[in-house]
Structure 1
Amino acid sequence: MMKNESNSRSAFFNLRISIPLLVVLLGAFLALISLGAISNGTLKEKGSPPSEGTIADKQHSQQDPANGPRRNFDQHGNRASTVGLVHRHVAKHRQAKTVGGGAWSSLGPPGGDVFDAAVSTVDSNIALAGLAPGGSIGGTLYRSSDGGNTWSDVSALDGTSVFDIEFAPDGTAYLGTQASIWKSTDDGLSWAVLNLGIGSNDQVFDVALDPSDPSTLWAGIADAFGLQPENVIRSTDGGVTWINRTPPLAQPISGQGIAIDPSDSNTVIAVFGGAFGGGEVWVTTDGGDTWMNRSAGLPNNPMQAVVYDGTRLLVGGGQSFGSEFVGLYESTDLGVTWTPLHDDTWPVLVVYAIAVDPNDSQTILVATDGSGVNRTTNGGATWEISTGGTAGLAGRSLRFAPDSSTELFLGTSSLAVFRSTDGGDIFVSSSRGISELNLYSIDANPLNAEELAVAFQGLNDGGVISSTDGGATWSLQSAPPTRYSNVRFAPDGTLYAISSGPSSVAQEGLYRRETNGTWTPLGPDQGPLYESDLDTTRFSHSNPNLILLGGADFGVAGFEATIWR
């Protein structure tokens, strides 16, 4: 069929006009993307505070594990630690590290989300560190053969998050992982996976060894968003077979910690905590045949840790998400009554781990989420806050080396392992070789190519790390310990960084490093909640006072894409 000549020419003419127009529009669109300004909203320039709104209609989507990247934020920008429904073969391997056709070398900095670090009971040179990014899947295991000075990854656990590490008296090691319990009898060189007999949702948060009988093991199991009803299990044959010992819970809730009476194997305490809230403490005196709910007198918030010496019961917990605080509690009657051991000097009532000096029960140290390590030497009458220079650290685990009152290993979110050799007076980084830090941005000083800066994020922590020797050595900057999404050197060499909350730690927005090393918040500060989710910085080369920020509003400020200037 013959084409209509006039229509064809008209179409060609329109096409010639449309192509340049499309190029211009595409260029503008890409420019906005480079500013981080295009997201799920309409672009607008920010110059005045927004009208008030509500986050009630966003709350469900933020907390629904099936919805969107902002699903797990509270109003202050705290994220919940959530783990999906994990099959043992899911996320087994992390992304391969390809180098392309060029020559690449790792510059660091060291770090990673270490959820536990422990020293062998038979060889003090052997230490293990388990990683679980943001408390989720896809982690790995690191091993040290020089007491924690240097570390190397264990390829067998590549892609498998490790939440707990336990050494039996004979040196046998057990790991609680995203996929069952792993066992090693050769100092962590090789590993075997135990069959728990509970199906594919076999994520293990805690492994407890009976002090009276190391062949008896207990395990705390994740609830898999309600799909795993067996949350406490026990083995009496070294992990060959397992039976369900779960208390009569109203609904499945993750078993976070288990403690066994050192002189009575039948007396066991189990603590529970949900990813989005809720917590309980249960006690059995008959090996799990019957249980007593001992949660009365405690906050109904996630419990994270438990220690029992046969007389004094200590439990700790809480989480930053939702301001679900607990702190540290003590009971001398197996949980019938409780007394808080924390006091008003504690800046954060979120405890992930409890360590009691094996030679002095009055010395207690706790790892907190955001204020490092708190220590008491008089049973909780008074406390040293953020002892040993740990202020700002998000502690995840804390252990004394076997039979030692001086050597401690602290596992942290983002910054991996810290070690003390003086009972907690001083903690120093001991993470060389652990290369799992979540970096979000990197920049080099335009006036000095040897000066580098990186922004990193943990679950609800983060920071800025810099190097002045091209990456040979790194130092943590004194910026507030929040998540950072961007670092950028201005044309004059001044370093800036964007904090992405939580606002409960420090206001989000742009920070500037001053010549004395301190950091100054520059805004935008839309209010006390988390309201500015920014991730891009641009500087004018013709006007040194002009700075552009790109990103989006959040929460009560709405969810529109934004550019600030």
Structure 2
Amino acid sequence: MFGFRRLWASWRFARLVAIVAAVVVAAGVLTSAAAQVAGSEDVDQDADSGQVDEDEDVGGPQAPADFLNDRFSSFQTVTDDQVQQAEAQAAEFGENGENWRLVGPSNVGGRVTGLVVDPRRPNTIYVAAAGGGVWRSTDAGNTFQSAWPSRLPQALGALEMGRDGTLWAGTGEANPSGGGLTFFGNGVYRSDDGGRSWDSWGLTHSGSIGRILVDPVNPRRVFVAATGNLSGTAQQRGIYRLDNNGRDWRLVLPAPNKTTGGVDLAMDPTNHNRIYAVLWDHQRNNGARVYGGVGSGLFRSDNGGDTWTRLENVIGTAPTDKTGTGLHSDATLGRIGIAVAPNDPNRVYVITATQYGPDKGFYYSNDGGTTLAPGGHAGGDSGYAWWFGKLWVDPKDKTHLFEADVNLRESTDSGTTWHVSAGVHADQHAMQWDPNQPGRVYLGNDGGVYRSDTNGASASWVHATYEPFNQSYHLAVARDDPTRLATGLQDNGSVRTWTATTPPGDLTQWNAYGGGDGHEVLIDYSDHNVYYECSQVGVCHRHEDSSGTSKSINFGARHSTRTTTDAPIIQDPNNPNIVYFGGNVLDRSTDRGTTFTQISPPGDFLTGPVPPNEDDKGPFYANEYATITWIAPAKTDPNTIYLGTDTGRLWKTTDLGAHWTEFTGKGLPTRWVNSVVVDPTDARHVFVAFSGYREGDLAANVWESTDGGTNWDNISGRLPNAPVEMLAYDQSRQRLYAATDLGVFVNRDGRRNWRRLGRGLPNTSILDIKITGDGRTLYAATFGRSVWAVRIDD
């Protein structure tokens, strides 16, 4: 059985309690370029907390918190009672049953947030996967093996190595979500043996870590940019320094408000007391994202972090700076990235974004940041500059640098002009040159790991071949073949285990059949040669294999004015030609998606209007909230459909959309509806899962009705309080399965008797589960460790 402290050490649980951390803030906003900010706060944490391996305990409870500001004032605050309840529930569960096994894919690659080269071991690198822990390669980035315990937090935001070979890992991803989600952690870990074992090293209330910087002179002095929690509060935000010979954390640069945290760090290579730090003011809720604010700023310390000066003396105006406010404190100042040229410490480069995504400005300095001047147009006009915020300078050439964007941007003239270094996947996040191999540089992005042996020249990049840390949104399994699988992957499209001419074989090797961010996928239950995929905001296609060829058919026009990123498409269980699509209205197709008819009232009838405090003002997500999130047609009654929305509304029609009943006043939570499942033998028997993750509500909400929604029972029972992402029902055995952010659980008696399913499943969020047609296997799509399977035929 898992003990209380061991459960707290797991990320799935620690991610929850990170939301409830209290905020340590300093009064006032730091605005003056000449103002000196004194670091003065000690954090009493014993860094030597014991080795973390498969038998060790770490962690501890955290304090509750207030919420961010008026934008979040309607949210429910997590209380001590909720936390204690989650502790007690989680402590009762142990691993039991069959062992989970990795299925794949391993040949695609997922988002990498950190990368370090081991200077002492040729061809050895380590990477931090956004949802998949730390991985090690000893063959120059070709293949990777896990270097991270499966039960620790799998969401990683930063990775660094000291000159003594010590690895430092920061849990919790600092990149904010766009249409999807990113997840949080429980502080900093260190390893003295190449990732074979890890010690918990404090800052357990930090939510996420944007950057770690190890002093090259004194590797026991470490700086950490604690970013906080995107949708809630975190007690530890700002820039921390490891003092007392590497034992105690001191807050040296406080965050000025509850929505600001640290995100980037840099050091003068010739002066280990000159430190650069970035604070970032950003937040989101169900629908609104504000990725900038008055708390954002760039700072420098010349005495090892004891005092700080704000750097904002920009001479001139960047052509992309529409407000002309430069680096001054301003509501439009978003994410900032900084880099110092290794061969000229006076040369400093800075990239900035606005609060809604476009580039704000690129700057350079020849005096260590005291004054800055606008450079060329570094960004690629992607509009997602908050997703990147990174610059890297060639260690041998201060005029040669790269900027993270959708494409990898390169300059060979100090940022005056820019071009694309082609041949790599989109969305760049990590880069480092290899000191052992001249001209060799490694790159991490949303597609995994790449290597160039010609200094990053365009089209010189080689992709890794084994990196099983994909982030799956949804999963499909053919009814007649448990090896025919499809999954939608974050920024890696939709992939499948077969081709038009080749049946499933090696399940580690999947191939693409849809682009963008892969989301919903379906395999026709009557003909596995017909299958579907959607990328973000409901761009969907039907695919058909016939006579050794494949064809793709675009979905026909639909009638919604708002569509969520993870738009649902559902095949009717009574007729395989009928497909449903949900936006803010419900559409029905009788020809497998070629044409659609609207079967719900127009406008906001089902979803309600977008609440003012959840109305996104940016250019990308204004029409992606107040939508249908799940659709559940009944098998025994083709006229009955249940559906749920992200605004927490649950509906049923029994006449194919002519009339609708909303289940209000039934005690149901008003929370994002993640999943609705109808008993295939009884249209009046239905299960619903809700999530308050974006609202700071941790409750595990699974509800059941046996009378068509007239009455509802909360059957969450002893489920640990965590978002329930998906449900699956095995009616023949009367088992309900729940995929959660704390693992997969099974209810065997139809009421509240939940048990953890299986052994050895990595500690990351499970976003989808599917039972095979023969009822022998359950597949789990994880958001960071690819797809796993476990036998359930006992």
TM-score (norm 2): 0.50
Which residue is equivalent to 1:498? 534
Q: Does 1:117 align with 2:115?
A: yes
Distance 1:248 1:117, change over 3 A: closer
Determine the C-alpha separation between the residues in 2 that align with 1:517 and 1:380: 45
1:496 aligned partner, one-letter code: Y
Count matched residues.
Answer: 460
SS at match of 2:241: strand
Deviations 1:285-333 (A, max 9, x none): 23333322225514834425321132222233549x9436446443334
Alignment map for 1:262-281 (pairs within 5 Å): 262-276=269-283, 277-278=291-292, 279-281=296-298
Distance 1:535 1:231, change over 3 A: same
Displacement of 1:384 = 2.5
Which residue is equivalent to 2:364? 330
Q: Does 1:389 align with 2:419?
A: no
Distance 1:190 1:315, change over 3 A: same
Contact 2:141/2:450, CA 8 A, preserved across alignment: no
Contact 1:130/1:163, CA 8 A, preserved across alignment: yes
Which residue is equivalent to 1:293? 310
Deviations 1:174-222 (A, max 9, x none): 22223333222222222222245xx744753321123444343211113
Q: Does 1:399 align with 2:432?
A: yes
2:191 aligned partner, one-letter code: S
Equivalent of 1:467 in 474, 486, 497: 497
Determine the C-alpha separation between the residues in 2 that align with 1:249 and 1:541: 57
Q: Does 1:411 align with 2:463?
A: no
Displacement of 1:498 = 1.9
SS at match of 1:141: strand
Contact 2:473/2:518, CA 8 A, preserved across alignment: no
Which residue is equivalent to 2:541? 511
Equivalent of 1:376 in 400, 408, 411: 411
Contact 2:378/2:403, CA 8 A, preserved across alignment: no
Determine the C-alpha separation between the residues in 2 that align with 1:454 and 1:64: 40
Displacement of 1:97 = 9.1
Distance 1:380 1:250, change over 3 A: same
Equivalent of 2:128 in 127, 130, 139: 130
Deviations 1:393-446 (A, max 9, x none): 232222222365533333233x33333333333334325152453251224598
Contact 1:126/1:147, CA 8 A, preserved across alignment: yes
Alignment map for 1:142-181 (pairs within 5 Å): 142-156=135-149, 158-160=151-153, 161-177=155-171, 178-181=185-188
Distance 1:174 1:64, change over 3 A: farther
Determine the C-alpha separation between the residues in 2 that align with 1:302 and 1:480: 29
Equivalent of 1:231 in 232, 238, 241: 238
Determine the C-alpha separation between the residues in 2 that align with 1:409 and 1:304: 22
Displacement of 1:171 = 2.0
Q: Does 1:522 align with 2:555?
A: yes
Alignment map for 1:249-264 (pairs within 5 Å): 249-250=256-257, 253-264=260-271
Determine the C-alpha separation between the residues in 1 that align with 2:381 and 2:190: 38
Which residue is equivalent to 1:187? 194
2:466 aligned partner, one-letter code: R
Contact 1:359/1:403, CA 8 A, preserved across alignment: no
Displacement of 1:172 = 2.2
Which residue is equivalent to 1:551? 582
Deviations 1:538-562 (A, max 9, x none): 389989xx55124342765853577
Determine the C-alpha separation between the residues in 2 that align with 1:132 and 1:162: 5
Contact 1:221/1:255, CA 8 A, preserved across alignment: yes
Q: Structure 2 unaligned segments of length 5 or more: list them.
A: 1-68, 78-82, 172-184, 284-290, 313-324, 585-606, 611-622, 632-640, 642-655, 658-794
Equivalent of 2:486 in 445, 450, 454: 454
Distance 1:444 1:317, change over 3 A: farther
Contact 2:105/2:470, CA 8 A, preserved across alignment: no
Displacement of 1:263 = 1.9
Displacement of 1:524 = 4.0
1:438 aligned partner, one-letter code: S
1:511 aligned partner, one-letter code: H
Determine the C-alpha separation between the residues in 1 that align with 2:541 and 2:337: 35
SS at match of 1:171: coil
Deviations 1:34-59 (A, max 9, x none): xxxxxxxxxxxxxxxxxxxxxxxxxx
Equivalent of 1:339 in 359, 364, 374: 374
Contact 2:358/2:383, CA 8 A, preserved across alignment: no
Deviations 1:272-297 (A, max 9, x none): 22342223212222333332222551
Contact 1:108/1:471, CA 8 A, preserved across alignment: no
Distance 1:147 1:92, change over 3 A: farther
CA RMSD, 1 decimal: 4.3
Alignment map for 1:48-63 (pairs within 5 Å): none
Structure 1 residues 257-266 or 184-193, which shifts more?
Answer: 184-193
Displacement of 1:532 = 7.7
1:464 aligned partner, one-letter code: S
Which residue is equivalent to 2:103? 106
Equivalent of 1:480 in 496, 515, 520: 515
Distance 1:498 1:203, change over 3 A: closer
Contact 1:357/1:405, CA 8 A, preserved across alignment: no
Which residue is equivalent to 1:365? 402
Equivalent of 1:207 in 207, 212, 221: 212
1:174 aligned partner, one-letter code: W
TM-score (norm 1): 0.68
Contact 1:330/1:341, CA 8 A, preserved across alignment: no
Determine the C-alpha separation between the residues in 2 that align with 1:109 and 1:116: 19
Contact 2:237/2:255, CA 8 A, preserved across alignment: no
Displacement of 1:256 = 0.7
Which residue is equivalent to 1:434? 468
Contact 1:212/1:262, CA 8 A, preserved across alignment: no
Contact 2:260/2:279, CA 8 A, preserved across alignment: yes
Determine the C-alpha separation between the residues in 1 that align with 2:519 and 2:207: 33
Contact 2:400/2:410, CA 8 A, preserved across alignment: yes
Distance 1:496 1:67, change over 3 A: farther
Determine the C-alpha separation between the residues in 2 that align with 1:360 and 1:92: 53
Distance 1:179 1:475, change over 3 A: same
Contact 1:118/1:129, CA 8 A, preserved across alignment: yes
Determine the C-alpha separation between the residues in 2 that align with 1:91 and 1:389: 48
SS at match of 1:143: strand
Contact 1:355/1:400, CA 8 A, preserved across alignment: no
Contact 1:314/1:330, CA 8 A, preserved across alignment: yes
Deviations 1:137-164 (A, max 9, x none): xx42222333332222235363323221
Displacement of 1:262 = 1.4
1:125 aligned partner, one-letter code: N
Contact 1:214/1:238, CA 8 A, preserved across alignment: no
Displacement of 1:246 = 0.8
Distance 1:189 1:559, change over 3 A: closer
SS at match of 2:152: coil
Displacement of 1:259 = 0.8
Distance 1:209 1:90, change over 3 A: farther
Determine the C-alpha separation between the residues in 1 that align with 2:248 and 2:575: 71
Determine the C-alpha separation between the residues in 1 that align with 2:434 and 2:129: 19
SS at match of 2:211: strand
Determine the C-alpha separation between the residues in 1 that align with 2:541 and 2:412: 38
SS at match of 1:220: strand
Contact 1:509/1:532, CA 8 A, preserved across alignment: no
Q: Structure 1 unaligned segments of length 5 or more: list them.
A: 1-59, 69-84, 134-138, 502-507
